[in-house]
Amino acid sequence: MIPPFDDTYFMKQALVEASLAARKGEVPVGAVIVCRNRIIARAHNQTELLNDPTAHAEILAITSAAHTIGSKYLTNCALYVTVEPCAMCAGAIGWSHLSTLVYGSADEKRGFRQYAPHALHPKTIVKSGVLEKECTDIMTDFFRKLR
């Protein structure tokens, strides 16, 4: 039996957030934070709306999750994000002590693995490539239409 709530399920939820961002003219990155198989926070990029370069999906989701559980530490929680986090977001993921990071597509230009490979908490489990094609396609389509 396939569990109803697995990495694919939660990444699909992050893709819903990415789609919302795209419809608003934001770079289509979506994120959800899960604790005990329950989504406790969802967010998408809002840098244009808020005129804030730090308003990335990951940062907004971490802030929301911390408020939801009443703690700055998100141990035993997982972040699902459609694109590999940047160095800034990796720092926030590290400081929040997220147990697991799951991302869809790699970001060869700005991803944390190139610029800040040690930014995450040492115990954070990293999984990549979940729904990679879907996550890559939404970014590719967005930038193709923009140009």
The residues annotated as belonging to the active site are 58
Q: For 83, left (φ over 0), alpha (ψ -120 to 50), or beta?
A: beta
Per-residue exposure over 79-101, b if at least 16 CB sit within 10 Å of its own CB, e if not = bbbbbbbbebbbbbbbebbbebb
Output DSSP code: residue 106.
-
Collapse the DSSP code of 27 into the 3-class scheme (helix H, G, I; strand E, B; otherwise coil) and give the result: coil
Residue 106, Cβ neighbours under 10 Å: how many?
16
